[in-house]
Structure 1
């Protein structure tokens, strides 16, 4: 698929600057999506709302993505790829400005809606770009770089912004992120090549549709379990005895472990996708169970969270690569389905956690999350066509 203007796909090494620019953009995107998680208590105190209500800021954002990812991808299929991608980055900046300056909780919600609409299109574009830049045999490794910025968003963006918000106020975190979004627009404009805006022809293979359905179903259930627990990780850590000033460093450690998980998944996915999927999800299930068993002992919770989020760092890459390799739809549309179903899981998980929090309490959230992720592991192992032993 030689879609670049006058230039065929190139090797991973040749396209590394372009892939790194996409990594920077995906870091910005995930930091924007996840930043409220570390600042839920502070935002709630400012406007006098409960933790369960502020947690819905994550659900609202994710709901926009879940509903709009596929329709927006289809509606913009003939738009030039690069200008459209740059426009989404500019909208991230605007969303964060609205939140930073919001005089009321409802205005914050409006800013998050704008961010969610932006996010609905961004990752479809980002994932769809990668197969157009590199050879097919290197898609897994290239995706690990381009979308690896999402893990960097957990590693650096969310923890550092959380620490900043704790020190000088949550509004400063969103304001800084808006400024960084504008810088990202300039860097991506310089480093990312333009690609042909003509939609690729429909795939010849139709047998991959069941494989794609299995991938996106497992993806949704995995994220449902993850965000039932992760949405309220700040609340859990505080209730286990962590001081507010420690939240940022703890999340930084967890995110740093996620980079290791991403690297390991990227190494294995181009050779052993099925084994990589089984090991990654299996470690997540075991670590979440350890989190539940160790709560409320702070040291046990932090250790389990590091292993859990370390393994989860490779999960997005697994579903992204397997969706593209199903060859059921175009790379952009495959990315849209992964983006949509992931955010169905995020929205559902945040809402489920918010519902369980006042009724069953914090201690049951890890066990609900573990059960859901175990179901996704079983689904993945059952779907041999979607998660083959060899790519």
Structure 2
């Protein structure tokens, strides 16, 4: 695999050492932020009672967060583009910690909404910078493994973060769940600011010395962002209704459903682990194969959900979901230049959240809980579109990465 000098992070360390300690800190920060993003879903009964509201309004706390991320991520990424990326990440985490502490103390639902908006602002900025900062710590030969380690925090959050938050709420209070996240995030912000390496982007060239025309990496970046939107739409069109898919379409016994969901999550974690070496050795081919495999898995779930092939499809679905994000992010960071890297990361965050917001609604339109195979068929089509967009992005970015 070759990578042109245009795509290598200008602040990458010269030594090939793999910075496992720094990456684990960033992965833990990802774990904390992703857990908080959907935590109200795991604390639904306790928050309904504590805030004297109804389930719909508690659910809207997740929607408000996602909408805030969509609106603020790119402007904040551009505003902070010339600052030390370490301090931007630490500052975003500190703001995230204060917002979650405020949620823990919120006396009314209206105050909780305001604190979730503040948390979404911090979350969007953190996600816009964390991949860029992690990339700057890595030698090009370690990029796939490094980004897989960082993004693994999000997968672990799905497996362990929400259950842990729910357990704390049951033993103590839902407020303690947010409080613990706030304390951990604040500690991480301090460690990142004080112990991790400084990474300041290169100074902008004088206008007279800038290359004529738009940066050539913008076209593949836009295609990757569009693929992320369609991919997220497909994922959440079906995952929102995964229980009726298993219980109604696949006719799985109710007692077997938690085990199937655990297997799905475990396969996702395996996907994250495997994605690192794949992204470093065969980044382009691996990304294409993962998307093609996911399309096949959704096809099986659409037309043969009540056969033993369902178990294979469910495992393949989990594996590919875990592998996709680190594979795409490592490819995106190889293709983007120093001028476009922050915009690329923020853009994918925004489009992915748009897909998250639209996916459940579209899944419901084509069947939802009553006919989940309609949602899986929609998801399969969405993944095929994402595959076409990724192939186009890889072709457009071939001058930067092989």
Distance 1:359 1:135, change over 3 A: closer
Alignment-derived partner of residue 219 in structure 2? 210
The answer on 1:340 being equivalent to 2:350 is: yes
Aligned with 1:221 (options 225, 230, 244): 230
Following superposition, the deviation at residue 56 of structure 1 comes to 4.1
Query: How many Å separate the matches in 1 of 2:216 and 2:93?
Result: 35
Query: How many Å separate the matches in 2 of 1:220 and 1:370?
Result: 14
The answer on 1:115 being equivalent to 2:119 is: yes
Alignment-derived partner of residue 277 in structure 1? 287
Distance 1:260 1:359, change over 3 A: closer
Query: How many Å separate the matches in 2 of 1:296 and 1:102?
Result: 46
TM-score (norm 1): 0.81
Are the equivalent residues in 2 in contact too, given 1:257–1:307 (CA < 8 A)? yes
Superposed CA deviations along residues 277-335 of structure 1, whole A, max 9, x for unmatched, are 122122323334444557699x9978754432222011111221222222354322221
The answer on 1:196 being equivalent to 2:200 is: yes
Task: Look up the SS of the partner of 1:270 in the other structure.
Answer: helix
TM-score (norm 2): 0.79
The answer on 1:93 being equivalent to 2:97 is: yes
Alignment of 1:259-278 (within 5 A): 259-278=269-288
Distance 1:200 1:260, change over 3 A: farther
Are the equivalent residues in 2 in contact too, given 1:30–1:153 (CA < 8 A)? yes
Distance 1:2 1:237, change over 3 A: closer
Query: How many Å separate the matches in 2 of 1:88 and 1:337?
Result: 17
Are the equivalent residues in 1 in contact too, given 2:128–2:342 (CA < 8 A)? yes
The higher radius of gyration belongs to 2
Are the equivalent residues in 2 in contact too, given 1:287–1:304 (CA < 8 A)? yes
Query: How many Å separate the matches in 1 of 2:311 and 2:45?
Result: 19
The answer on 1:63 being equivalent to 2:73 is: no
The answer on 1:371 being equivalent to 2:375 is: no
Distance 1:149 1:95, change over 3 A: same
Are the equivalent residues in 2 in contact too, given 1:380–1:387 (CA < 8 A)? no
Gaps of 5+ in 1: none
Following superposition, the deviation at residue 272 of structure 1 comes to 1.8
Query: How many Å separate the matches in 1 of 2:105 and 2:341?
Result: 37
The answer on 1:287 being equivalent to 2:297 is: yes
Alignment-derived partner of residue 319 in structure 1? 328
Distance 1:79 1:208, change over 3 A: closer
Are the equivalent residues in 2 in contact too, given 1:216–1:338 (CA < 8 A)? yes
Aligned with 1:26 (options 27, 30, 34): 30
Alignment of 1:8-23 (within 5 A): 9-11=13-15, 13-23=17-27
**Number of equivalences:** 384
Are the equivalent residues in 2 in contact too, given 1:131–1:331 (CA < 8 A)? no
Following superposition, the deviation at residue 97 of structure 1 comes to 2.9
Following superposition, the deviation at residue 259 of structure 1 comes to 2.0
